Chains A and B, each alone.
Chain A
Amino acid sequence: MSGDPVVEELLDVTVTVNGVPRHARVPARRLLSDFLRHDLGLTGTHVGCEHGVCGACTVLLDGRPARSCLVFAVTAQAHAVTTVEGLGTREAMGPVQRAFAECHGLQCGFCTPGFLTTVTAYLEEHPHPTQDEAREAISGNLCRCTGYQNIVRSVLRAAELREAAEADATAGDS
């Protein structure tokens, strides 16, 4: 498919990650997943199948869930990325993180960053999912521990926590 071997050139890539512009000099073929982990040291994003099936590497690209193993860092250049590190801190966890902790929505935890980013974006658009909808919402993410029952519970619990947080915020405003 190719003629002469390609000489690898390095490109200056700057991506806004969790609100902060981050820069590295990388080959064009650097996947966003590897850019985040190896070049930026943000190891929260996990790498599983590397062909878009497992969902472990899911990040938010301009607010929408995307497989970071199917995006090149150089393509993400003009865009904003949110990784699991951007969803909250140990001291101030986001509602989805709290729900997964409360409902034991993880076993080994390898797939968890992908679930957290996927579910965070899903609930923005569908704040009150039914159990069936929650199940479909996570159908693109694989958990090899098969912890799906608790993950579905976590999605529903996260919806409650979000609602409660919004009610508090509204009460605080008045």
Chain B
Amino acid sequence: MKPAPFVHHAPRTVDEATSVLADVGHDGKVLAGGQSLVPMLNMRLATPAHLVDLDRVAGLDGVEVTADHVRVGALVRHADLERHEQAYAALPLLRQALRHVAHPVIRNRGTTVGSIAHADAAGEMPSVLALCDGVVEVASATGAREIPWHDFFLGPLETSLAPEELAVAVRFGRLPAGTGTAFVERARRHGDYALAGVGAAVTVADGTVTRARLTFVSVTDVPTVLDVTGPFAGREQSSVDWSGAAELVAAAVTPEGDIHATAEYRRMLAVELSRIALAEAAARSAAPGSGRGAA
């Protein structure tokens, strides 16, 4: 298994990268960490004539934490975001989810923005972007724009990025004070693609639930946020039975079956993992330093 020939471009700046992308159009593909793209090239599922390798582009490897968001540059490796203490303090969900992204060795190379741009429904970080109401920052030779997550993901492995556009960063929105989060998955082997995964964010004010939301991995074909606040609003966090979300989840998801799991089993997992994730998230929302439970 070897890649087909391609022309390698090694830009040093974002402008150089976007000018190459403008030139090569549909024949071009952006290479960042390569942990999803290179397998596709090796198996010749993709044969782009031009690869724009971001490895040497300066200024894309920063993580920035502000009062509103955690901004992650296109060259930030999963492993670096996972270890970033400020990012963890601001948005514990990032580390909670990153621990499920493949194996540590893959996380050393793979980039968070790359996995979002890859838009695999079995990937964790697109769903996390959704749950955090995130935004993708895009550059091109003709200008810049920002794409909210719900306009970014169009279908499995399909985004609204144009061929000449480069995703330079994503911004994960910080969650309101009093929000606890959790990310749970089931896979045959730790580090493999999840049979199903669920992220949860539960906000509690004065001991009562004010908001509860879920997102899914390997269950929906594009990232989705399901608001399940309804039955729990105003209830005391400590007395909530989260299995009450089961009907909402079962009605909202229509998973597909494949060789790893049947659709029915995936739906069952989605329901059960939702209960677990909501309970974990709620317990953390109540803990001092909201959301800072063990990642």
Contacts and interface: CB of A to CB of B under 8 A. Distances in A.
Which interface residue of B31, B49, B104 has the most chain A CB atoms within 10 A?
B104
B26 interface: yes
Interface in B66-125: 79, 102-106, 108-109
Contacts of A34: 2
A11 interface: yes
Given A28-B6, A29-B3, A72-B8, A65 B38 contact: no
A52 B3 CA distance: 14
A1 B46 contact: yes
B293 interface: no
A8 B5 CA distance: 6
A31 interface: yes
Given A51-B1, A51-B39, A66 B109 contact: yes
Interface in A57-96: 58, 61, 64-67, 69-72, 74-75, 78
Nearest to A78: B56
Contact of A66 (B4, B42, B43, B105): B105
B62 interface: no
Interface in A25-75: 27-29, 31, 34, 50-52, 55, 58, 61, 64-67, 69-72, 74-75
Given A1-B47, A74-B8, A140-B103, A66 B191 contact: no
Interface of B: 1-8, 10, 26-27, 31, 34-35, 38-39, 41-43, 46-49, 51, 53, 55-56, 79, 102-106, 108-109, 189-191
